[in-house]
Amino acid sequence: MARRTLHDRYYKQAKAEGYVARSAYKLLEINQKKRLIRKGDRVLDLGCAPGAWVQVALEIVGPGGSVVGLDLQRVRHGFGENAVTIEGDAEQIEASRLTGAGVAEPRLFDCVLSDMAPSTGGGAGGSGDHFLSVRLCEAVLGLTPGVLKPGGNVAMKVFEGEAYKGLLDRTAGMFEKVKGFKPSASRDASREIYIVAHGFRKS
């Protein structure tokens, strides 16, 4: 069972296509259907290790764009000059450290991504994991005014549960359009869903 779960078709496809993790296909589908990232964008990826979303974002933004990744652990994969990765905690980091990464002058981002999740045993996300994942999303929303351009977009992972609606409502208070979306590459047993938000309203 464990082998079938870990070595599914997305895992094999990622290995074949050069992505460092199967999660690449989640962002590919989110962007295909929700159009979060555009060519030339500056993208912030929170919880970026091992780097699959950085890889996908770089493909989308092209040579005129850039990606900054943040994670608690060091990202060992090399991405080229258009990507910078930082070791740090999204719940504690200063926004200026992110907007100043890889540029001579601080620059806001066009899109903020978060695939952050609490450490879970089976990947499904129980009640405790749900509340921890909501807290991580709250950290994303807390960072947003300091890092995201007006009109910018966000996608962040959360485990569904009783606090989901409140999180969705808070996000809707900051963006023009907000919707939940579960990509095909998410495991069937997982309660993960992505809150996809367009059009940041800077107060």
Cα–Cα distance, 154 to 163 (Å, whole number): 19
What pLDDT score was predicted for residue 82?
95
pLDDT tens per residue, range 32-74 = 999 999 999 999 999 999 999 999 999 999 999 999 999 999 9
- Domain that includes residue 92, residue range: 2-200
Nearest-5° Cα angle at 50, 124 to 30: 60
| 195, 13 contact by CB (below 8 A) | no
Q: Which domain CATH number covers 37?
A: 3.40.50.150
| 49, 71 contact by CB (below 8 A) | yes
Q: Is pTM beyond 0.75 here?
A: yes
Say which DSSP state 200 is in: E
Active site residues: 157
Structurally, how many domains does the chain consist of? 1
